[in-house]
Amino acid sequence: MNILQTRNITKQYGKTKAVDNVSMAIQKGDIYGLIGKNGAGKTTLMRMITALTFANNGELELFGQTSESGLNNARRRMGSVVETPALYPNLTAQQNLEYYRILRGIPDKSAVNNALQAVKLTDTGKKKFKNFSLGMKQRLGLALALLNNPDFIILDEPINGLDPMGIVEMREMIKNLNAERGITFMISSHILSELSLIATRYGIIHDGRLIKELTEEELREQCQRCLSVKVDDTAKCANILETVLNTTKFKVVGDNEIRLYDYFDNSSEVTFQLNANGVRVSALSEIGDNLEDYFVNLIGGEHCA
Amino acid sequence: MRNIIKADLYRIFRSKGVYITLLIFIATAILQVTSNGEAAIGVFAGAPLEVPYEETASAPNLGEGNMMRIITGKSAPFIIATYTDNLIFFLLPFIVFISAADFKNGTVKNLLSSGTNRVKYYFAKLIMITGASIFLILLNLFVTIITATIKNGFKGSFNIAWLSQIAEIYLPQLYLLFVFGCIGVFFIFIFKNTAALNTIYIAYSFLPVIIISILLSFSEKFEFLPEYDLVLNMKSFAYSSEMDIVNFMAPNLTRTLILGGVYIIACTIGGIALFRKSEVK
């Protein structure tokens, strides 16, 4: 089931397209990592989903709703922190959440404490929001997003500015909420290595366009460490790998390349056997990306986000 | 909409700013009575002013036969009505607490992203401003009547006729104060910036009167202009022949209702239309 679907959604500022014909889908249970450089269009896309700005073209579907009133109703099932967590600076964590509990008409008064417990902010007492550290602010933002027991949460750079402990805590909280409560997440982050630890699906946005969507498995496959063997005859090479080297952990890529997910520590044996059996090896190298390398390669080697 | 109002009340009464504003407001209301509480009568222009006997006291300092006029609980609402336009400026902090705070702190994003309808949100703020306008007028009346009564006694009877006289003056003034509230809400939803609201709102309250005064000093053909100014309309209801103050412009309820109505409709329709499709940063 799709929680969110966009169809050719476009946002234009003057002549600049901040988001250009983006069609994407987020399914129930996903932790969707949105990756892109600064100014790629991630926040604009999130702002359209959260009704902070409006698309010039295209359609937005949230929980199956596409009309204006339907989308507003659907947004009640959603929590979000877009850009920085915005709360009243002179209120405490408890008071801020109580304000939103009343505003959202949540009858259960324990919702405030439950949300604070979920983000481990129950002991802030009379400390006002303006005196919170960035990590506490981020956690309170997440508590606010959790207040109405949402099915879908949008977090824009949730680990931005956090210390290493804060990053680990935020990651664990997101993973737990996804696993235990089944909450679907859409998260943008600059810290791609962190994103790769929690996301189950990825969307890569560049210059306003969604250039790639892939699952965790697809990414792992794309980024998996392997030996790239360039040969003159891939069919014969595959046969030798199976019969002589006794491995099936390989994939034929194109007309003259085989990716071998085995024999990392003994690549010379691979070269020797292939040559000995009449396959000419023109190149053999170890390859494999992490998410950051993959992202940089995909957008054409420009500076990473 | 009810939830927005309830939540805003919860928030506003947890802010120190609102209590500080109220303290200043109450102090000003008391000063309105104490600083204007006494005026010599019977010594100007050789003819005594017609002031009810119970509102006078002997003034030996001014010489024999002279009397002093005092503000009693009964007369206080009519005398301080000339200062009701000050409430326009006291309404400004309430517009900031009620509406501008959401834009200043960015919390409006939390509301919109959780499915709050923009039109309902706008109207909730207008209702809050209406409440603030009523509250300010009533508090102003209450404080001045109590202060004058403590100082000089009530000197009259608390009856329907007295209340209806008060209503005749203060209901149109309340209406015009609400018009300023609508203008303030319009400005904040358009500019989404507290500094811009303060500057434009104060300028909008002051400048027309100044411009009209300048124009009138040049030519009498601008005599019609005061009728189109909100502050001058508000003041016009404060002067009554009973108080023996020369009225510069006769109060006209129909004119005021139409003038205010135009502002209310223009600001509300314009504000909602622009906010509905505007970007919230």
Whole-number Å distance between alpha carbons of A161 and A73: 33
A195 CB neighbour count, 10 Å cutoff: 22
Q: Which residues contact A66 (CB under 8 A, 6 or more apart)?
A: A59, A60
Question: Which residues from chain B sit within 8 angstroms of residue A79, using beta carbons?
Answer: 114
Look at residue B227 in the predicted model and tell me its pLDDT: 84
Helix (H, G, I), strand (E, B) or coil at A120: coil
> For chain A, what are the domain ranges?
2-220, 225-287
Q: Which of A27-36, A181-190, A265-274, A282-291 has the lowest mean pLDDT?
A: A282-291
- The C-alpha of A173 sits at a distance from chain B's nearest C-alpha, in angstroms, of 21
- The C-alpha of A218 sits at a distance from chain B's nearest C-alpha, in angstroms, of 32
B279, two tokens: 């970007």
Question: Which residues from chain B sit within 8 angstroms of residue A4, using beta carbons?
Answer: none
- Note the maximum CA span of chain B: 74
Whole-number Å distance between alpha carbons of A154 and B74: 60
A222, two tokens: 């794309």
> For chain B, what are the domain ranges?
2-277
Q: Do residues B109 and A86 lie in contact, with contact meaning Cβ atoms separated by under 8 Å?
A: yes
Taking an 8 Å cut-off on Cβ atoms, the answer to whether B113 and A98 are in contact is no
Task: Say whether A225-287 and A2-220 share the same fold.
Answer: no
Look at residue B46 in the predicted model and tell me its pLDDT: 43
Tell me B83's DSSP state: G
Helix (H, G, I), strand (E, B) or coil at A81: strand
Taking an 8 Å cut-off on Cβ atoms, the answer to whether B16 and A90 are in contact is yes
B9, two tokens: 């009340």
In this prediction, what percent of chain B has a pLDDT beyond 90? 30
Look at residue A154 in the predicted model and tell me its pLDDT: 92
Question: Which residues from chain A sit within 8 angstroms of residue B280, using beta carbons?
Answer: 52-53
Look at residue A224 in the predicted model and tell me its pLDDT: 72
B279 CB neighbour count, 10 Å cutoff: 12
A18, two tokens: 């901040």
Taking an 8 Å cut-off on Cβ atoms, the answer to whether B3 and A95 are in contact is no
Q: Can you tell me the ipTM of this complex? A: 0.80
Q: What confidence tens digit (pLDDT) does each residue in A220-258 have?
A: 777 777 888 999 889 999 999 999 989 888 888 888 889
| CATH architecture for the domain at A225-287 | 2-Layer Sandwich (3.30)
Look at residue B53 in the predicted model and tell me its pLDDT: 63
B212, two tokens: 């009209």
Q: Is the pLDDT of residue A173 over 80?
A: yes
Q: Is the pLDDT of residue A10 over 90?
A: yes
Angle at A156 between CA A153 and CA A162, to 5 degrees: 110
Q: Is the pLDDT of residue B157 over 50?
A: yes
Question: Which residues from chain B sit within 8 angstroms of residue A84, using beta carbons?
Answer: 106
Taking an 8 Å cut-off on Cβ atoms, the answer to whether A98 and B10 are in contact is yes
Whole-number Å distance between alpha carbons of A19 and A57: 10
Q: What confidence tens digit (pLDDT) does each residue in B217-250 have?
A: 888 888 888 888 888 888 888 765 445 445 567 7
Give the residue from chain B lying closest to A43, CA to CA: B281
Pick from A135, A130, A143: which is nearest to A94 by CA?
Answer: A143
Q: What is the amino acid identity at position A294?
A: Y
Kindly report the average pLDDT of chain B as a whole number.
83
Question: Which residues from chain A sit within 8 angstroms of residue B10, using beta carbons?
Answer: 98-99, 102
Taking an 8 Å cut-off on Cβ atoms, the answer to whether A90 and B112 are in contact is no
Residues 78-137 of B with CB under 8 A from A: 101, 105-107, 109-117
CATH 1.20.1540.10 is held by the domain A2-220: no
Q: What confidence tens digit (pLDDT) does each residue in B25-76 have?
A: 999 988 888 876 555 554 443 444 555 666 666 666 666 666 666 788 888 8
Give the residue from chain A lying closest to B280, CA to CA: A52
Q: What is the DSSP string of B10-61?
A: HHHTT-HHHHHHHHHHHHHHHHHHHHTSEEEESSSTTS-----GGGEEE-GG
Q: Do residues B236 and B247 lie in contact, with contact meaning Cβ atoms separated by under 8 Å?
A: yes
Q: What confidence tens digit (pLDDT) does each residue in B70-122 have?
A: 788 888 888 888 888 888 999 999 999 988 889 988 899 998 888 888 999 99
Q: Do residues A42 and A206 lie in contact, with contact meaning Cβ atoms separated by under 8 Å?
A: no
Interface of A with B (CB under 8 A): 47, 50-54, 69, 71-76, 78-80, 82-84, 86-91, 95, 98-100, 102-105, 144, 148, 154
Q: Which residues contact A52 (CB under 8 A, 6 or more apart)?
A: A82, B109, B112, B113, B279, B280, B281
Model-level pTM? Answer: 0.81
Mean pLDDT of A86-112: 91
Q: Which of B10, B15, B105 is closest, CB to CB, to A86?
A: B105
